[in-house]
């Protein structure tokens, strides 16, 4: 298996479906242009690809995984738009282009985010009424939970609070990463599993795996920030490099951070092999790609 080829196929499906969905969403101008600007901003579609990869591994319903994955991508995109706002991280650039509020103004950017978040549920629920599967609705609920006030929004809130504090501590760092980053990756992996009507044991293994992957994602991101290799990391997390933020590198030093990344990747792979054997190759290669900082 060449994960590059598989991901290209997945991303093409996701791009086409996102464009189809947004085109028919009924938003007026300038709202629809603001939504489309950020949806088409060159994201790698990591989350929908994870949903599709897990679904394929488990022999599930690929359409369901596609619909859930696209909903997750809309939610991820709204979070980046709101994260870049002046009252949040105040970022003028995102993935090498002006951020949403720099192009459409702050008010419309808030609404583009609100719109993408609401439309994610309108879209996923609309598809759910066609699928008529309880497992699918469980997935939509899981996505809402992971995106919400005990998940991603909780991470953002804590992050914002710590930026204003002089002494962020290690437990806050762990809370922020676990919720701001890992929760939506977990939602994507579990969405793929629900699309295959996975059992409790598989769901648990995939959740444990996702938490490791989320941690790995964050450590390699911190390492890249430290190395100043902006081109590769692409600022996907909306961090403010100028703040004296606590990161894995500032906390442990660069060598220990690299070691931690490698150990975390091994742990993630072990969980996969133990639960799914050689069938887990797509996820294993995702972990390796992440470790070598291609995400």
Q: How far apart are CA 91 and CA 13, in angstroms?
A: 30
> Which CB atom, from 173 or from 223, has the smaller least distance to its own copies?
173
Peptide bond into 201 cis (omega under 30): no
> Which CB atom, from 85 or from 284, has the smaller least distance to its own copies?
85
Min. distance of Cβ 47 from its own copies in angstroms? 16
Min. distance of Cβ 12 from its own copies in angstroms? 25
> Which CB atom, from 117 or from 203, has the smaller least distance to its own copies?
117
Q: Angle formed by the axes of helices 281-291 and 3-23, to 10°?
A: 90
Min. distance of Cβ 144 from its own copies in angstroms? 4
Where does residue 149 rank: exposed (0-12), middle (13-18), buried (19+ CB within 10 A)?
exposed
Structure tokens at 196: 């295959």
**What φ, ψ does residue 132 adopt, rounded to 5°?**
50, 50
> Which CB atom, from 86 or from 253, has the smaller least distance to its own copies?
86
Structure tokens at 224: 């890249």
Min. distance of Cβ 35 from its own copies in angstroms? 7
Q: How much of the chain is in helix, strand and coil states, percent to nearest 5?
A: 75, 0, 25
Min. distance of Cβ 272 from its own copies in angstroms? 28
Min. distance of Cβ 82 from its own copies in angstroms? 6
Structure tokens at 44: 């790698």
| DSSP element (H, E) containing 208 | helix 200-227
Min. distance of Cβ 241 from its own copies in angstroms? 18
* Half-sphere exposure of residue 196: CA atoms within 13 angstroms, side-chain side: 21
> Which CB atom, from 35 or from 182, has the smaller least distance to its own copies?
35
CB of 209 closer than 8 Å to CB of 287: no
**Residues β-bridged to residue 97:** 94
**Residues β-bridged to residue 98:** 93
DSSP 280: G
Min. distance of Cβ 276 from its own copies in angstroms? 27
> Judging by DSSP bridges, how do beta strands 93-94 and 97-98 pair with one another?
antiparallel
> Which CB atom, from 85 or from 219, has the smaller least distance to its own copies?
85
> Which CB atom, from 158 or from 289, has the smaller least distance to its own copies?
158
CB of 287 closer than 8 Å to CB of 211: no
> Which CB atom, from 149 or from 232, has the smaller least distance to its own copies?
149
Which residues of the shown chain bind its own copies in the complex (CB under 8 A)?
Answer: 25-28, 30-32, 35, 78, 82, 85, 87-88, 105-108, 110-111, 113-115, 117-119, 121-122, 125-126, 128-129, 132, 134, 137-138, 140-141, 144-145, 147-150, 153-154, 156-158, 160-161, 175
């Amino acid at each position: 298996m060449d994960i590059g080829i598989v991901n290209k196929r997945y991303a093409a499906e996701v791009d086409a479906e996102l464009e189809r969905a947004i085109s028919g969403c009924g938003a007026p101008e300038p709202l629809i242009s603001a939504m489309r600007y950020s949806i088409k901003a060159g994201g790698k579609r990591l989350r929908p690809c994870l949903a599709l990869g897990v679904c394929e591994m488990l022999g599930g319903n690929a359409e369901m995984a596609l619909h859930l994955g696209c909903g997750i991508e809309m939610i991820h995109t709204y979070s980046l738009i709101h994260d870049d706002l002046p009252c949040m991280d105040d970022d003028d650039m995102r993935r090498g282009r002006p951020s949403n509020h720099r192009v459409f103004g702050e008010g419309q950017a808030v609404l583009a985010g609100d719109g993408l978040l609401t439309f994610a549920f309108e879209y996923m629920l609309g598809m759910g009424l066609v699928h008529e599967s309880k497992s699918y609705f469980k997935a939509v609920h899981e996505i809402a939970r992971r995106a919400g006030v005990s998940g991603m929004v909780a991470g953002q809130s804590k992050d914002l609070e710590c930026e204003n504090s002089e002494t962020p501590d290690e437990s806050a760092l762990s809370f922020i990463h676990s919720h701001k980053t890992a929760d939506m990756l977990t939602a994507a992996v579990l969405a793929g599993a629900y699309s295959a009507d996975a059992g409790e044991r598989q769901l648990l293994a995939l959740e444990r795996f996702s938490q490791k992957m989320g941690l790995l994602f964050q450590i390699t991101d911190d390492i890249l920030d430290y190395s100043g290799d902006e081109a590769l990391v692409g600022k996907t997390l909306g961090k403010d490099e100028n703040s004296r933020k606590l990161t894995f590198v500032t906390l442990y030093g660069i060598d220990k951070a690299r070691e931690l990344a490698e150990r975390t990747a091994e742990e993630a792979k072990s969980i996969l092999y133990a639960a799914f054997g050689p069938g887990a190759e797509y996820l294993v290669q995702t972990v390796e790609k992440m470790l070598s900082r291609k995400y």
